Amino acid sequence: MTAPNQSGWRPAMHEGVKENSYSRETATGNRGLMLEEALIFEIGTNETTGVDLPEPQAGADRLGGLGRSEPIGLPGLSEPETIRHYTRLSRQNYAIDLGLFPLGSCTMKHNPRLNEKVARMPGFADIHPLQPVDTVRGALEVINELAHWLIALTGMHGVAMTPKAGAHGELCGILCIRAALEARGDPRAVILVPESAHGTNPATAAFAGYRVENIPATSEGRVDLEALTARLGPDVAGVMITNPNTCGLFERDMKAISDAVHAAGGYVYCDGANFNAIVGRVRPGDLGIDAMHINLHKTFSTPHGGGGPGSGPVVLSEALSPFGPLPYTARTKDGVVHLVEEEHADEFAREHFGKPLQSFGRMSAFHGQMGMFTRALTYILSHGADGLRQASGDAVLNANYVLRSLDDVLDAPFGDSGPCMHEALFSDKGFAGGLTTLDLAKGMIDEGFHPMTMYFPLVVHGAMLIEPTETESKAGLDELIRALRSLAERARSGDESLKGAPYFAPRHRLDETLAARKPVLAWHGPATPGGTPTLSEQGGS
Ligand SMILES: *Cc1c(COP(=O)(O)O)cnc(C)c1O
């Protein structure tokens, strides 16, 4: 553990210190500005209070005997104590504004400040969904204008704006497919999903009541067209295909897949979460797709994770558009954008589109994530069509730069399948000494990076999926590559110090399986020997 390894790396702070106990090197447990922070329940007690309230004056009890009889058990802290607690915790977060976020399949893009400025304008930020429609015409224009862009960029016919995340959008698309099949009296039971699919795809199909069947991949990492066509038949409602797929590759046979599915009477759902790689270059409508969700929080730069809610509009083909959810916006001949709601929806559809309404229902109470619509439209308008096209090109260039800069030290399973799209896929093949993808990922924390996506896609053993996005500079990518190269060399040489990484973090190796399987989410008081584990015991080092 103490000898410098081949790459010259040495866990200096760790020398001579018992594993995972070096937080005791200082009296406080703090190390410089990396502050130890206990749980709020451990800092405050319910015997103290941060505010001085006068004793309530005796008066008639109007609670009908429902008044609390026992203490509520909240820690009493003053305002500065509370603010310090949460500020300290917030500094332990990694964020897109702090450094590169290489998570593949998540598209962690920079969130331009212009988006935030526009979203905070009172005319957008201070309105309420229950306001009279006449007082929110501008907001409806924003929704409709964004809808127009999404339709134009995808070459589709309509768009459902209300879904609130990618997975929510998938459900919306599958419900449209089900409604269309039911309308023609042809309920079908099976949805085909490639084995490399994002986990939300089979989950969505199953949630909507379908039986999910896997389609195998070719050795190239793409959907096996022959196996897919062989399985098509009168029981197949549709397919769900991610394009570009989760191996970071473009599905070249997409049009042939769509034609075969349509010929067999099914519909094609495309998981469009990876649209960032092809915006301005390919229109999914031209590939025969019937429904595709777009993650505004990925491709169109609205914040996600801790930074904000998702938003997953679903673009629809002409065949599926009539079945989309309510409410939706539509501009009538007089130039006014309407919010088409339940009471008038059928009348409206007949009058303006000459068709009865066949909507499957609603996806959300109101019209979707307004704050995200404002941000996404700002992003789109500030880039323009040419700027969006350049963003997808730069994203793909960055991913290929990472792929080709590291494929001599990291195994690239589909490195021979041509250039990748927006994400580079590696595996742990060639690591020595029992070291795994997990060890390399933990080492990234010591190097100051958020780990990449690990063990996904499932079709690749020890997968590492890296998506650098278009806004990272060459210098930033070179820094990431330098860190990954050093870690890869350590992993290949069997450097066992990697097993203990991260060393330079508030917590080290946690029992992640236990934390996921048996999360302790409530405070049960301080630990007693052999008693209920407390949060601090489970999450502590
Ligand atoms: C992110 C993602 C999803 C799910 O989107 P959420 O907004 O997280 O629900 C689905 N498919 C793929 C390929 C994704 O990357």
Question: What pTM did the predictor assign?
Answer: 0.88
Q: What is the pLDDT of residue 537?
A: 42
Condensed to tens digits (0 to 9), the pLDDT of residues 511-538 reads 989 999 999 888 887 765 544 444 444 4
For the ranges 40-49, 217-226, 284-293, 526-535, which has the lowest average pLDDT? Answer: 526-535
Pocket of ligand 1 (CB under 6 A): 105-106, 165-167, 198, 200, 242, 246, 271, 273-274, 295, 310, 312
Summarised one tens digit per residue, pLDDT across range 225-261 is 999 999 999 999 999 999 999 888 999 999 999 999 9
Residue 512, token pair as written in the block: 């992640």
| pLDDT single digits (tens) 160-183 | 999 999 999 999 999 999 999 999
- Residue (of 18, 36, 21) closest to 541 by Cα position: 21
In angstroms, the CA 489 to CA 369 distance is 45
Separation CA 255–CA 382 (nearest Å): 32
Task: Give the residue, by CA position, lying nearest to ligand 1 atom 7.
Answer: 166
Locate 28 and state its tokens. 């406080």
Of 3.90.1300.10, 3.30.750.24, 3.40.640.10, 3.40.50.10800, which CATH number belongs to 136-375? 3.40.640.10
Task: Locate CATH 3.40.640.10 in the chain.
Answer: 136-375
Which pLDDT belongs to residue 16? 41
300 contacts 392 by C-beta, under 8 angstroms: no
The residue assigned the tokens 């089979």 is 202
Whole-number pLDDT of residue 528 = 57
Amino acid identity of residue 531, one-letter, is: G
With tokens 């199909």, the residue in question is 205
Nearest-CA residue for atom 15 of ligand 1: 105
Distance 135 CA to ligand 1 centre (A): 34
Of 60-64, 405-409, 516-520, 521-525, give the range with the top mean pLDDT.
405-409
Alpha carbon nearest to ligand 1 atom 8, residue: 166
CA 302 – ligand 1 centroid, Å: 14
Q: How far is the CA of 165 from the centre of ligand 1 (A)?
A: 8
For residue 295, give the ligand 1 atom closest to its CA: 7
What was the pLDDT predicted at 458?
A: 87
pLDDT, tens digit, 9 for 90 and up, residues 194-233: 988 889 999 999 999 999 999 998 888 899 999 999 999 9
For residue 504, give the DSSP letter.
S
* 295 CA distance to ligand 1 middle (Å): 7
Kindly provide the b/e burial profile for residues 424-456, where b requires at least 16 CB atoms within 10 angstroms of the residue's own CB.
Answer: bbbbbeebeeebbbbbbbbbbbbbebbbbbbbb
34-48, 118-132, 302-316: least confidently modelled range: 34-48
**CA–CA separation, 513 vs 519, rounded Å?**
9
